[in-house]
């Protein structure tokens, strides 16, 4: 039963930056640029990347929290941003989100009951009794108990607060759930609990997940498809197994090799990237990654690579893989432009 | 209608919980008692004051010194009992202080929340209005308006409210700008909440401590300002207020004739009123900034620590102590 | 073996109005010269407090510290006054903090901040200090060090700031560096860079490193010896190989088991129930027993002692796992 639940088409989200002087050229934070992807019903879709890559902005745009400056979002074949206000609210009830920080995601003045029942209360279709009953049901589903009904968030630990947030998110039986780094702010020994809970709920309630994380090992375990983002662009996308078996994009390669694995004996050959992550304000033209890419060529500076299928269910946007397209008219496009700046920016090889 | 009812109920609940917290704090208790005393005097003035200063037939001989009949003497100009005037004066001061303070709070909060949360053109309009209002000098304006529309306390309340909400609105707005980025606001948006729902259920309660603190402090300021205006003769000439008492005392020659109580009494009245409100306001701040309170208390705690107990605690942690004993003790006394 | 750092019986408590918060309950640490020792634990276990305690940076109030032995390369730190400790800090022990943005002075150029270390401890002149600073920046791999030295912290990226902290820490070639979660706030690729720098500097200059973190993957790639801390007590001590191949303590086993690796095929995460106890409300007996699958009546009533094993291994458990020593059988 795989049909497309959510489709993103050439999505761009650019924020204007207030320039300090009145006559300066308007700068923009190009958080997300020209991203297209499809999410199948029932799957877990991963978005991977480092800071500034736009993953949170992309997720926010997908569920209607941030209006895109370009492109479209189709949820169940409806153009999300051209719906009327009422229709929009209706559709959005099927999309919910779990936030990274368990401390700011619950209103400290609300009781647990008020927090979890708020979506129901806003919708206004249930009586008080029904809401209490349902809230107790939800609490038990996430591993808390009905004694917690009238307590305040400050009585709970980080992991428990995250559970409350999850209960709130699933209260209206959404079809689509965005998990924005759901365990990063929690203690390590609690990660597994929350992740297992999320997986359990997905099967039970038949939801589609978008899972945002910088923890590649977790992504590998639970995501069916994923996209690797860098500075607002998709670098590589496709089936998780395909990407991890055969990471093609130089950035994906570097990312995977940089991950410190707990299985330290199988630590991969490290590709250390030069320099730091540039700012998404006025990002580099052409391929956004060329400044740090170990395979950068002259043509990469001006020509933007397209996402092209390399093997079934595996797409990469890289000139080094596909070669330069015809419309890219740069002389000596294939000339390498990689410079070594410091001793630490070279390939360091396996760690002892 | 139901919405407004639940909002008011929420406000009432909030206020009651603050009062509770105040009572527990020793300094706050003082403030609360004094304010209670003042309110009591204002409400039950006819029962407390031995004479009714408004009643012309109850005038006594002018310029009497304090005696058992007239605890603080009588005025030189009219023969009214000063003590009664003091009691009746609470009515004016408290009324103006509280009414203005509370109206200010409502207006300022509403404007601040709308400017901060809705943003865009609403924000610009409100903030520019604030800028304009701040520039206009209140005192000359009051003088002009009272000459145009007659001198009354209603006029003073209106003017103070219209010009005083600006400072609060600014402060609330900055707080709202921070609050609106909280994830629970986003979660409410996702659930389909309207802007008003978010503003009244999430944002406004988040500013409540600031509001109450500001109301207390502003009321104190207003009382002083009112006293000043009455002193200048801009208040209601028929009402009895402490500022007016001071004015009369000065022009009536109290200093000249050594009639000090006439001056001191209203002065102390103003002092107590302002002091108690400010105390409440400052204690509020301490309550909501627990770090402030902690650092003061911890030194005292350390001075009073039972050293042998501490040594026992340390000893219980060492490896030898573990043998056979029941692990960690967790008695909760210091 | 004369350890570079010897800590015996370190205890830290925070008395407050509601009782006594026991942050660190009697821990022993040994760090050899040139070794990287990791102190691993989650929030509330007391590891950050430990690092501050070693540097004697805990203010009393609100903390109270007691230690039996605190010796840095034959220099007894215990009786030293704060003024005397100031000579030691920066020169013989230095610290790298987690958040570079708050650890650096925002109104001073980074160059000047490193200069200060040289001027204070090595008594260099301003010019000589600047030369040494540029050299230090080059050592940690900062490109164009002379130019960077004149920049302010907010002009640098997170990874660069962390390198500045590392340069500052290594400036006087101290005997011991304490790094408190040095890369937790950084991105994956930057983390790799920074840890490389740290590891290389440490090995090249034979500086002892105490690495404090909650991230077992970082530990797996950097440390020689690992101390696992739980709720104020050391529950396991082992070399890296021993710890990951054959962990003894149920907490360590659970922790390692719950972290997925890129190289395994599992799709379900092994979970530890419940959560870390609040430092003010600790359980009776063994602090881990409410979450331990092997807990018995003994575990609920009595805190286990730290048992010694051959090769310097230690475990605090009544029933250490994975080595058959009375492990599986309990009443």
Which pLDDT score is estimated for C325? 39
Name the band, by pLDDT with cuts 50, 70 and 90, for residue B322.
low
Spans of all domains in chain A: 4-230
Residue B135: pLDDT band (50, 70, 90) is confident
- pLDDT for A346 beyond 60: no
Percent of chain C with pLDDT over 90: 21
- What integer pLDDT is reported at residue C233 of this predicted model? 92
State yes or no: pLDDT of A90 exceeds 90: no
Residues of chain C with Cβ-Cβ distance to A341 below 8 Å are: 143
Query: Residue A93 pLDDT > 90, yes or no?
Result: no
Indicate the average pLDDT of chain C.
Answer: 86
> Nearest CB to B328: which of C18, C22, C306?
C22
pLDDT score recorded for residue A280: 75
C-alpha to C-alpha distance for C18 and C233, rounded to whole angstroms: 22
pLDDT: is A106 or B298 the higher one?
A106
What is the domain-level CATH number for residue B68?
1.10.3720.10
Q: Is A165 touching B (CB cutoff 8 A)?
A: yes
Q: What pLDDT does C179 receive?
A: 92
Which pLDDT does position C225 carry in this prediction? 93
Q: C213 - beta bridge partners?
A: C40
Q: What percent of chain C has pLDDT over 70?
A: 96
Q: What percent of chain B has pLDDT over 70?
A: 91
**More confidently predicted of C192 and A264:** C192
| Least confident stretch, A88-92, B324-328, C46-50 | B324-328
Q: What is the ipTM of this complex?
A: 0.82
Residue of C62, C68, C279, C289 to mutate, testing the B interface (most B Cβ within 10 Å of its Cβ): C62
Domain ranges of chain C: 5-230
Does C139 score more than 50 pLDDT? yes
Confidence label for A349 from pLDDT (cuts 50, 70 and 90):
very low
- pLDDT-wise least confident of A144-148, C17-21, C130-134: C17-21
Cβ of B33: how many Cβ atoms within 10 Å?
A: 12
Is A319 a residue whose pLDDT tops 60? yes
Has residue C327 got a pLDDT over 60?
Answer: no
Token pair of C227, please? 């101390």
Per residue in C220-237, pLDDT tens?
A: 888 999 999 999 999 999
pLDDT of residue C212: 92
Flag whether pLDDT at C322 surpasses 50.
Answer: yes
Using the Cβ of B296 and the Cβ atoms of chain C, whether some distance falls under 8 Å is answered with no
Q: Which residue has the tokens 């999300």?
A: A80
Task: Mark yes or no for CB contact C284/B301 under 8 Å.
Answer: no
Rounded to the nearest angstrom, the gap between the alpha carbon of residue A150 and the centroid of all alpha carbons in its chain is 33
Q: What is the mean pLDDT of residues C197-217?
A: 88
Q: β-pairing, A44-48 with A208-213?
A: parallel
Instruction: Report CB contact under 8 Å: C301, B305.
Output: no
- Highest mean pLDDT among A178-182, B147-151, C202-206, C257-261 belongs to A178-182
Q: Does A173 touch chain B (CB under 8 A)?
A: no
Asked if A63 lies within 8 A of B190 by C-beta distance, the reply is yes
Which of the pair, A23 or C163, is modelled with greater confidence? C163
Q: What is the pLDDT of residues B284-297, one digit of tens each?
A: 777 766 655 555 66
Confirm if B272 and B39 have CB atoms less than 8 A apart: no
Q: Which of B224, B305, B269, B211 is nearest to B18 (CA)?
A: B211
| Percent of chain A predicted with pLDDT > 70 | 90
Residues with Cβ within 8 Å of residue B68, at least 6 apart in sequence: none
User: What CATH superfamily classification does C5-230 receive?
Assistant: P-loop containing nucleotide triphosphate hydrolases (3.40.50.300)
- Give the distance from CA B191 to its chain's centroid: 38
Pairing label, strands C5-16, C19-31: antiparallel
B11-to-A19, B14, B208, B211 alpha-carbon distances in Å: 41, 5, 9, 11
* CA-based nearest residue to C51, from C21, C24, C73: C24
Residue-level pLDDT at B84? 82
Contact list in A for residue B188 (CB cut-off 8 A) is 118, 122
pLDDT digits (tens, 9 = 90+) for C169-178: 888 889 999 9
Do the Cβ atoms of C196 and A199 come within 8 Å? Answer: no
Domain range A4-230, its CATH number among 3.40.50.300, 3.20.20.70, 3.40.50.2300, 3.30.1490.20: 3.40.50.300
Which residue in C220, C213, C254 sits closest to C238, CA to CA? Answer: C220
Residue A345: its chain C contacts at CB < 8 A? 141
H or E element: which one contains B313? helix B307-317
Highest mean pLDDT among A44-58, B207-221, C184-198: A44-58
The pLDDT value given to residue A271 = 72
Determine the average pLDDT of the residues in C301-311: 88
Domain that holds residue B14: 2-291
């Amino acid at each position: 039963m795989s049909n497309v639940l959510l489709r993103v088409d050439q999505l761009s989200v650019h924020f204007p930056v207030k320039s300090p002087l009145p006559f300066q050229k308007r700068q923009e934070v190009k958080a997300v640029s020209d991203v297209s992807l499809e999410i199948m019903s029932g799957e877990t879709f991963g978005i991977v990347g480092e800071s500034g890559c736009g993953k949170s902005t992309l997720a926010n745009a997908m569920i209607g929290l941030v209006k895109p400056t370009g492109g479209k979002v189709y949820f169940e074949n409806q153009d999300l941003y051209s719906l009327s206000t009422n229709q929009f609210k209706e559709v959005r009830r099927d999309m919910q989100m779990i936030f990274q920080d368990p401390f700011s995601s619950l209103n400290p003045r609300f009781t647990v009951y008020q927090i979890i029942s708020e979506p129901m209360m806003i919708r206004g279709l249930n009586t008080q009794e029904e809401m209490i009953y349902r809230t107790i049901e939800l609490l038990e589903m996430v591993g808390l108990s009905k004694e917690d009904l009238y307590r305040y968030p400050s009585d709970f630990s980080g992991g428990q607060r995250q559970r409350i947030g999850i209960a709130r998110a699933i209260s209206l039986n959404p079809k689509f759930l965005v998990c924005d780094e759901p365990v990063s702010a929690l203690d390590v020994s609690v990660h597994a609990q929350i992740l297992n809970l999320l997986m359990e709920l997905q099967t039970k309630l038949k939801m589609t997940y978008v899972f945002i994380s910088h923890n590649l090992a977790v992504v590998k375990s639970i995501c069916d498809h994923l996209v690797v983002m860098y500075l607002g662009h998709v670098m590589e996308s496709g089936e998780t197994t395909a990407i991890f078996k055969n990471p093609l994009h130089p950035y994906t390669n570097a990312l995977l090799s940089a991950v410190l694995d707990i299985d330290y004996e199988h630590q991969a050959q490290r590709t250390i990237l030069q320099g730091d992550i540039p700012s998404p304000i006025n990002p580099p033209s052409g391929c956004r990654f060329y400044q740090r890419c170990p395979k950068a060529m002259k043509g990469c500076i001006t020509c933007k690579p397209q996402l092209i299928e390399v093997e079934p269910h595996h797409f990469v946007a890289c000139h080094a893989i596909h070669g330069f397209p015809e419309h890219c008219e740069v002389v000596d496009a294939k000339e390498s432009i990689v410079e070594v700046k410091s001793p630490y920016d070279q390939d360091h090889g396996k760690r002892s | 209608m139901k919405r407004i009812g639940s909002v008011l109920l929420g406000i009432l609940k909030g206020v009651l919980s603050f009062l509770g917290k105040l009572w527990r704090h020793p300094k706050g208790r003082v403030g609360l008692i004094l304010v209670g005393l003042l309110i009591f005097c204002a409400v039950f003035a006819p029962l407390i004051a031995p004479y009714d200063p408004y009643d012309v037939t109850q005038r006594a001989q002018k310029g009497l010194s304090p005696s058992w009949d007239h605890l603080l003497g009588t005025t030189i100009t009219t023969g009214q009992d000063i003590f009664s005037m003091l009691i009746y004066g609470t009515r004016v001061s408290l009324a103006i202080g509280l009414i203005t303070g509370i109206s200010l709070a409502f207006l300022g909060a509403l404007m601040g929340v709308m400017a901060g949360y809705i943003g865009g053109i609403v924000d610009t309009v409100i903030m520019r209005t604030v800028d304009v209002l701040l520039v206009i000098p209140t005192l000359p304006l009051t003088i002009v308006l009272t000459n145009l529309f007659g001198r009354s306390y209603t006029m003073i309340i209106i003017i103070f409210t219209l010009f005083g909400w600006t400072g609060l609105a600014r402060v609330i707005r900055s707080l709202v700008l921070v609050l609106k980025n909280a994830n629970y606001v986003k979660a409410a948006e996702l659930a389909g909440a309207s802007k008003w729902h978010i503003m009244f259920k999430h944002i406004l309660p988040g500013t409540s401590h600031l509001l109450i603190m500001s109301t207390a402090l502003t009321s104190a300021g207003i009382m002083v300002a009112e006293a000043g205006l009455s002193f200048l003769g801009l208040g209601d000439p028929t009402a009895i207020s402490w500022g007016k008492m001071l004015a009369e005392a000065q022009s009536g020659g109290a200093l000249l004739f050594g009639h000090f109580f006439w001056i001191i009494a209203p002065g102390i009245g103003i002092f107590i009123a302002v002091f108690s409100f400010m105390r409440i306001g400052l204690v509020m701040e301490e309550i909501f900034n627990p770090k402030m309170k902690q650092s003061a208390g911890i030194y005292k705690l350390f001075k009073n620590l039972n050293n042998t107990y501490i040594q026992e605690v340390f000893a219980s942690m060492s490896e030898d102590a573990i043998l056979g004993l029941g692990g960690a003790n967790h008695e909760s006394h210091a | 073996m004369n350890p570079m750092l010897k800590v015996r019986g370190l205890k830290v408590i925070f008395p407050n109005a509601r009782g006594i918060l026991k942050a660190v309950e009697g821990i022993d640490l040994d760090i050899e010269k040139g070794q990287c020792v990791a102190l691993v634990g989650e929030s509330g276990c007391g590891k950050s407090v430990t690092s501050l305690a070693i540097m004697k940076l805990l203010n009393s109030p609100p903390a109270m510290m007691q230690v039996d032995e605190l010796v840095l390369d034959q220099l007894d730190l215990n009786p030293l006054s704060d003024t005397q400790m100031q000579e030691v800090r920066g020169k013989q022990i230095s610290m790298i903090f987690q958040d570079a943005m708050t650890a650096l002075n925002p109104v001073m150029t980074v160059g000047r901040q490193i200069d200060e270390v040289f001027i204070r401890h090595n008594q260099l002149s301003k010019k000589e200090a600047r030369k040494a600073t540029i050299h230090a920046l080059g050592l940690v791999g900062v490109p164009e060090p002379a130019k960077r030295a004149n920049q302010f912290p907010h002009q640098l990226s997170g990874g660069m700031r962390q390198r500045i902290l590392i340069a500052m820490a290594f400036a006087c070639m101290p005997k011991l560096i304490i790094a408190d979660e040095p890369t937790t706030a950084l991105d994956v690729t930057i983390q790799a860079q920074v840890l490389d720098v740290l590891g290389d500097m440490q090995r090249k200059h034979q500086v002892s490193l105490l690495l404090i973190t909650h991230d077992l993957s970082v530990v797996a790639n950097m440390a020689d010896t690992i101390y696992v801390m739980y709720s104020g007590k050391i529950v396991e001590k082992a070399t890296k190989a021993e710890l990951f191949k054959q962990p003894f303590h149920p907490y360590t086993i659970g922790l390692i088991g719950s972290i997925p690796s890129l190289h395994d095929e599992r799709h379900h995460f092994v979970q530890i129930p419940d959560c870390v106890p609040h430092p003010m409300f600790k359980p009776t007996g063994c602090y881990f027993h409410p979450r331990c699958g092997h807990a018995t009546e003994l575990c609920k009533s009595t805190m286990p002692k730290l048992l010694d094993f051959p090769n310097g291994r230690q475990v605090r458990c009544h029933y250490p796992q994975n080595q058959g020593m009375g492990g599986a059988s309990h009443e």
